[in-house]
Amino acid sequence: MISKFAAVALIGFSLAACSQETAPTYHAEDNPEHLSDWGMIAAKDGALRLSEGVTPYDLATPLFSDYALKLRTVWTPGGKPAVYNPDDAFDFPVGTVITKTFYFPVSENDWTGDILIGKERSLNDGPKGKSLALDHLHLVETRILVHREDGWDALPYVWNEAQTEAVLKRTGAVVPMTLHRDDGRMEPFSYLVPNANQCAGCHADNATTKEIKPIGPKARHLNKPSSFAPGFNQLDHWLAKGLLAGEIEAPAPRNVDWTDETAPLDARARAYLDANCSHCHNPDGPADTSGLNLEPDASGPAMGKCKAPIAAGRGTGGRPYDIVPGRPDLSITVFRMETTDPGAMMPELGRAVRHEEGVELVSKWIAQMEGGCS
C-alpha cells in the first residue's frame, strides 16, 4: 500500500516538474489522467493557482460534505456566456469546465488524516492571478464537470500526498480521516471520493432523463454578495464579466446563507434542505420514489409534514413521520441527518460525520412549527 502511494506521488512529482503551466483546455473526448491537463487550477509553490479566465464562485448555502471546504471555479470556452434560468442550472455552452476542490484545514502540513473545522480561505490576488495559499490546508479531491457535445460528464481527481497533482480516479476512493471538533472531540471516519456513477447519483437530478447537470450554478444559490469581487452581487459580477447572459427578473430567486442568524429561521432551514437534499428530493429526482420534495417551494405533506415514509426501512429510526411539527425528536428528517449509519443516513452519499450545526438548525425549525399530526 505504502509503495503504491509512493509511486503515485513520484509520478505526480515528475509531472509537476516537467509540465509547463497549461492554459484552460476543453477535452472534448478524452479524460486526462491529471487534473493539471485541464489547465483550470494547478498547485505550485505552495498555492493552488487559478488560470487566467477561470472564475471562482461560491454559493449562498452549500452542500455539507464532512466539513470539507470547497473552491469552485467555472470556465467557458472563448468566454462564451451561460444563459440565465430562474429555476434550473444555467445553460452553459459546450466546452464549459467546472471544478470543485475539496480541502480541509489541518494543524500539521504533513498529512496525518487529522482535519479541523474551518472557514473557506479567501483567495490571494497576485500578479499571476488568483490563488489559494496551501499552508495548513490539505487538498483531497477535485471534481470536474465538463459539458461535452452529448452532455455533462463528471470526473473525480484525487490529490497526491505531496499535494502537487491530482490523478483521475473514476472508481473513487476512501480516505481515512479523523475529524477534530472545536471542543476537542475526535471522530475517525472514512471520507468517500465518489466514483463517476455516484457523481451522477446527485448530479442527475431528473431520474427519468438521467442527464447530468451542475447543481450549484443556479440563480438562487449564486444570488449573493460576491466573495471574489467585493462590492458586486455575484450574479451581476457574472453578467459584467460576460459569463452570464439573459434577462434576470427582479428580484431574482435567492436562498439565504444558512448561517446568517439575521435571516428568518424558515428561510435558513429551507435553504439548507434545498442545498443538501433537493437534487434528489424533487418531484422528478431520484428520490421521487419517496414522495418527499425539499425544493424551496414545496409545502405540506410533500415537504414531509406528517408524511409517512416510503421504503425507508430502518431509516425511520423508529419515528412515525418525516416532520412532526413541534417535535424534532419524533421527526425522521432529523434522525436521518443525525445518524451516520450508511443504511439510514441522509444524504446517502457524501457525508460520513454528523453536521451538528445543520441538525441544530433543522431541529429548531421543526420545534417552532405549530400543530402535530393527528
* Interacting residue ranges for other proteins, rule: CB under 8 A: 170-172, 174, 190, 192, 195-198, 200-201, 204, 207-208, 210, 286, 288-289, 291, 300-302, 305-321, 332, 341-344, 348-349, 352, 371, 373-374
Instruction: Judge whether 144 and 154 are in contact, CB under 8 Å.
Output: yes
Of 146 and 267, CB closest to other proteins:
146
Of 124 and 171, CB closest to other proteins:
171
Sign of torsion, CA 347 145 70 116?
positive
Of 107 and 190, CB closest to other proteins:
190
Of 203 and 268, CB closest to other proteins:
203
CB 103 to other proteins: min, Å: 20
What are residue 187's phi and psi, to 5 degrees? -130, 105
Secondary structure percentages of the chain, helix, strand, coil, to 5: 25, 25, 50
CB 228 to other proteins: min, Å: 33
Q: Judging by beta carbons within 10 Å of its beta carbon (0-12, 13-18, 19+), is residue 20 exposed, middle or buried?
A: exposed
CB 239 to other proteins: min, Å: 35
CB 173 to other proteins: min, Å: 9
Of 61 and 293, CB closest to other proteins:
293
CB 160 to other proteins: min, Å: 18
Please state at what angle helix 265-277 crosses helix 356-367, rounded to 10 degrees.
Answer: 130
Which three cell numbers, joined as nine digits, stand for 308? 409517512
Q: In 3D, which of 154, 145, 141, 144 has the Cα closest to residue 48?
A: 141
CA angle at 139 for the pair 138 and 143, rounded to the nearest 5° = 160
